[in-house]
Amino acid sequence: MGSTKTQHFTSDQNQVAAYAKALAHPARIAILQHLLKKQNCICGDLVGELPLAQATVSQHLKELKAVGLIKGTVEGTSVCYCIDPQKWEEVRDIFMNLFSTPVACQDNCC
């Protein structure tokens, strides 16, 4: 036990959950907000901006990269991270799709 029973759910449900999991940490939200704002996609100075150790930031970046929300490009000694615009839209659409479903059960219901 302890491991999620992924096989028993639809790929749709697993997909939404996987992207939600990527967003399920304030540090990763902070990273994304930072990458959204900066015109010149910042690199390792993310470590300076966040209240976390370098290894921890690197780990969060890895998770965001794993779901494809960001991509990293080596630039000399440092690495430049950017949001993948296509993926960003895709994930937005996936969440929109979930939230656009009208709530069948309204106030009078319960």
Partner DNA sequence: CTATTCTATCGTAAAATTACGATGAAGCAG
Partner DNA sequence: CTGCTTCATCGTAATTTTACGATAGAATAG
Contact 48, 34 (CB under 8 A): no
CB of 27 to a second copy, least distance (A): 7
20: nearest Cα among 103, 99, 102, 101: 99
Interface with DNA, residue 60, by CB under 7 A: yes
Q: Which does 97 bind (CB under 5 to 8 A by kind): a second copy, DNA, none?
A: none
Cα–Cα distance for residue pair 18/46, rounded to 1 Å? 24
Q: Please give the single-letter amino acid code of residue 102.
A: P
R_g over Cα of the chain: 17
Q: Which does 3 bind (CB under 5 to 8 A by kind): DNA, a second copy, none?
A: DNA
Q: Which does 54 bind (CB under 5 to 8 A by kind): a second copy, DNA, none?
A: DNA
User: Which residues are at the interface with DNA (CB under 7 A)?
Assistant: 1-5, 21, 24-25, 27, 43-45, 47, 52-56, 58-63, 72, 74, 76-79
